[in-house]
Structure 1
């Protein structure tokens, strides 16, 4: 995986999917374990504004912290994915790559585009016909913004400010 080439204060849509579009999450425990790793490895460098874990891919909307150690951030993303891969390989007797080789980080260069990305991330389970309402998918930050859960992975205050989101949960849902 190449360096992400992130810049402080900027917003990015970071995503990757399973190699050959195969599943990367097989059980609720897998989703939870990935979120634990995400918190450990990426939150020191990035403010997570939105996230969604799908059966065969993931999406993150992030803002790079002012004093982020950017070379270390790329290393930590590799560690996140490789340690998660090793756990899945061990648990399910798999071999080979779990994720596609290159994780993408697309810069969101204006607030309108960033807000569209925020909505896109939360609508992913609906588009994939996994649920009828975004609130039904527990593996995204949608429930946190809709006031249905009090998750702490997202920096909701930063998202509200940066994306100009409504402060009332009912207006987001």
Structure 2
């Protein structure tokens, strides 16, 4: 799909046939290394969460994100190609490590534009998406508290670590996240209707 500059996107994909894509902590860490190399140079990562069989990113695109890149006869953007390289690189290592063959991820990574008109929508889907991403492991009963899940950006916002993968300023400036109310808002129940909008 065509990616526009200066927009907030929900980017997601999952294991082929909902297969597990992260078996160990090392798998999660290796995937994030690829994210840093292949994706981070082309956008701002506002939030993320890696789950055992899928992943979510909330990204803010820039002019750099939409620079064209030729892939044979096709033209893509450096951001789309960055996600392609992320998944292919990780899948190759995963297949070797676990002695498997074939595709690991669903064929297409989805990019859901949360700001179709370039303005912050009144229903503030970027705000909803930000909290939805962090709630994933908690809602799935993978952890007793959101902050207990190691493989999301929640710890960065809570001040439990000072990582360099996430750009927090867009969350404050573009999404309306407030540091003093962030934790309480993180546990608010999100309606199914709003969640449905976050997906294509």
TM-score w.r.t. structure 2 length? Answer: 0.81
Corresponding position of 1:113: 125
Q: Provide the secondary structure at the position in 1 that maps to 2:41.
A: coil
Corresponding position of 1:20: 17
Corresponding position of 1:172: 182
Mapped to 1, the partners of 2:10 and 2:4 lie a distance apart of 13
Q: Provide the secondary structure at the position in 2 that maps to 1:129.
A: coil
Q: Provide the secondary structure at the position in 2 that maps to 1:49.
A: strand
Corresponding position of 1:72: 78
Corresponding position of 2:91: 85
Mapped to 2, the partners of 1:114 and 1:94 lie a distance apart of 37
Unaligned runs of 5+ in 1: none
Q: CA deviation at 1:55?
A: 0.2
Mapped to 1, the partners of 2:59 and 2:78 lie a distance apart of 16
- How many residues of Structure 1 are paired with residues of Structure 2 in the alignment? 168
Q: CA deviation at 1:107?
A: 0.5
Mapped to 1, the partners of 2:174 and 2:146 lie a distance apart of 22
Q: Provide the secondary structure at the position in 1 that maps to 2:45.
A: strand
Unaligned runs of 5+ in 2: 69-76, 184-200
Taking the TM superposition and a 5 Å limit, the aligned residue runs for 1:12-161 are 12-68=9-65, 69=67, 71-109=77-115, 110=120, 112-161=124-173
Mapped to 2, the partners of 1:161 and 1:27 lie a distance apart of 35
Instruction: Tell me the C-alpha RMSD between the 2 structures.
Output: 1.2
Q: Provide the secondary structure at the position in 2 that maps to 1:153.
A: coil
Q: Provide the secondary structure at the position in 2 that maps to 1:139.
A: coil
